[in-house]
Chain A
Amino acid sequence: MAAINRDDVAHLARLAHIEMSAQELDRMAGELAVIVDSVKSVSQAAGDDVPATSHPIPLNNVFREDVVGHTFTAEQALSGAPDSDENRFKVPAILDEA
């Protein structure tokens, strides 16, 4: 497996929506390289015949009755919002047009 470098971290930070300074990118790349190196043995541990486990105790098809349960009022739902307007969350421009 390829080692993780500074450009990778910059790309990942963009994907994860976390702004990072040049200094932060350098530090993070160094730390992550060590961590990734320490976990790489995992890829050799299991053969192709071993199935993956996504949940420790499998439960399938967990359904409930199709009835309306508790719902929050718009006021409750917006109570922690940084900004709202007319019962909606308010955000800056979504496209690069502002």
Chain B
Amino acid sequence: MTDNNELIRLSAARLAEKLAAGEVTSVEVTQAYLDRIAAVDGGERGVNAFLHVNAEEALAVAAEVDAIRAAGGAEAESLHVLAGVPIAVKDLIVTVGQPTTAGSKILEGWHSPYDATVVERLRAAKMPILGKTNLDEFAMGSSTEHSAYGPTRNPWDLDRIPGGSGGGSAAAVAAFEAPLALGTDTGGSIRQPGAVTGTVGVKPTYGSVSRYGAIAMASSLDQIGPVSRTVLDSALLHDVIGGHDPRDSTSLPDPLADLVAAAKTGNVEGMRIGIIKELHGEGYQAGVENRFNDALELLKEAGAEIVEVSCPNFQYALGAYYLIMPSEASSNLAKFDGVRYGLRVLPEDGPMTIERVMGATRAAGFGDEVKRRIILGTYALSAGYYDAYYGSAQKVRTLVQRDFDAAFTVADVLISPTAPTTAFRLGEKLDDPLAMYLNDVATIPANLAGVPGLSLPGGLADEDGLPVGIQLLAPAREDARLYRVGAVLESLLEAKWGGPLLAQAPELGELVEAKEAK
């Protein structure tokens, strides 16, 4: 048996090989991760990536996979390649048998009567679900500080944010509490946490992974996707969750491309990789810019042709996003009213009408950031302002799409830093919502246009030693290109570093103790 400390550091692909070869059992792997969660996640000083740990069910699924493998025969042969490999699920995605909170008090203790399609697919692949991960309330935030259940801490520095909204999923994977996780990305909530925690995150083409069972924030922007430590691992998970779902009317009918093959046969020779003029330089931290330039150099050496493209309308993307997203969210969150599920709060005095119960319930159940966005969205949609705000923002969406279309006539893939800075300190931007919003400036255009994006570790910034993310963008339905280029860049960078970036992360045990001693 492999030492547990080694086991939890293996990639999902490597774990899958060892499981298939009978070198380790799924129960051993799952227990090793549960032990790791118990050691580093809890208490004041822990990572706090998990809101719920699903030990019993995870071990039962693991035991089932082990029994099938031990019995051999057709059933063992037909097991999915990731069977027995554990996974964590962002708590915005509904699950039977575990609570789903969306990081909000308004859903505290609520259990969904149905599984999200992606969860059904994890179950069909027999992947043990370790638990549900922390997030900014209803996925609204870039730091996971807006969770009603306390912030998640960045495993690279426990005083810093792990990004958001999917900080829990990214931190869990970075802290070796899970080999894989599911995230959701509306404006960067998979990619930006990936960037600041030194992990990989992919936002697939809009509609290529079912949203059924993902609690909606902004329906025309939301997308579920994989979170992992390697590009190949994301491709393997993407393959499990992707493909058409009749229960999501925006689900694309197209068959899924062979993403795993793309990750395995990466080759950039002769590929045209476009630097987006507007998504680097001014406003980007020097260390981020340096690692971005290193990545370009490596790709050039590997035979790629680097071209420069301009996307002039990206300057309006952040503004358009902060009109469209709250507008859709204000409508989507109207259902949390204390009638059918979740919290109900009665007014302290005065007449006991349903209107007043709703007002009191939503006042007590929603946090500040959610209230801000609901009010902003209600404003943008109100009579007299609709054309100027929501209508104009939808036109900008067209302009951003046109910019992408033009860029993809001269480049096969686009590249930029994923986020303008490395992880900021907990609390640093809490009183300045606009400063937090700016962290999504490079990730938002992909959501507006529906194109896929991947973030992978690009190294550590010189000035603070924290991870920097490199973002790749491809045309809609061309997710395979992200894996192809991502896998090449990853292998070139790891050759330079002498191993994965996460091997340079501080030992969490030591960090946690040092923090306690303060």
Contact = CB atoms under 8 A, between A and B. Distances in A.
Interface of A: 1, 4, 8-9, 12-20, 28, 31-32, 34-36, 38-43, 45-46, 50-57, 59, 62, 64, 72, 76-77, 79-83, 89, 91-96, 98
Question: Which 7 residue pairs spanning A and B have beta carbons closest together?
Answer: A56-B450, A80-B341, A82-B344, A52-B394, A46-B395, A39-B319, A19-B363
B246 to A, nearest CB: 6
Contact of A19 (B316, B359, B396): B359
Given A1-B385, A79-B113, A17 B398 contact: no
Given A35-B433, A52-B397, A92-B352, 19 more contacts: A13-B375, A16-B374, A20-B363, A39-B320, A39-B322, A41-B315, A42-B319, A43-B392, A51-B395, A53-B398, A56-B206, A57-B207, A57-B450, A59-B207, A76-B113, A81-B340, A82-B343, A91-B354, A98-B352
Contacts of B249: 59, 62
A12 B200 CA distance: 40
A90 to B, nearest CB: 9
Contact of B378 (A12, A20, A72): A12
Nearest to B364: A19
B382 interface: yes
Contact of B323 (A39, A91, A92): A39
B421 interface: no
Given A17-B355, A98-B353, A45 B395 contact: yes
Nearest to B221: A56
B330 to A, nearest CB: 6
Contacts of B388: 1, 43
B376 A19 contact: no
Contacts of A12: 375, 378-379, 382
Contacts of B356: 19
A54 B394 contact: yes
B52 to A, nearest CB: 16
Given A18-B371, A18-B374, A57 B392 contact: no
Given A52-B391, A57-B206, A32 B375 contact: yes
Given A12-B375, A12-B378, A51-B395, A80 B316 contact: no
Interface of B: 110-111, 113-114, 205-207, 220-221, 246, 249-250, 252, 313, 315-316, 318-320, 322-323, 330, 334, 337-344, 346-347, 351-360, 362-363, 366, 371-372, 374-376, 378-379, 382, 385, 388-389, 391-399, 401, 433-434, 437, 447-451, 476
Contact of A18 (B206, B221, B343, B375): B375
Most buried by B among A8, A43, A55, A81: A43
A56 B363 contact: no
B375 A79 contact: no
Given A42-B316, A77-B113, A17 B395 contact: no
B220 to A, nearest CB: 5
Given A64-B246, A93-B352, A50 B374 contact: no
Nearest to A41: B319
A93 B354 contact: yes
A12 B362 CA distance: 14
Given A19-B359, A41-B319, A79 B250 contact: no
Nearest to B447: A56
Contacts of A13: 375
30 contacts: A1-B389, A4-B379, A12-B375, A13-B375, A16-B334, A17-B358, A28-B375, A39-B320, A41-B319, A42-B316, A42-B396, A43-B392, A45-B313, A45-B316, A51-B398, A53-B397, A53-B401, A55-B206, A56-B206, A56-B397, A56-B450, A57-B205, A57-B250, A57-B252, A59-B252, A79-B111, A80-B342, A81-B339, A92-B354, A93-B352
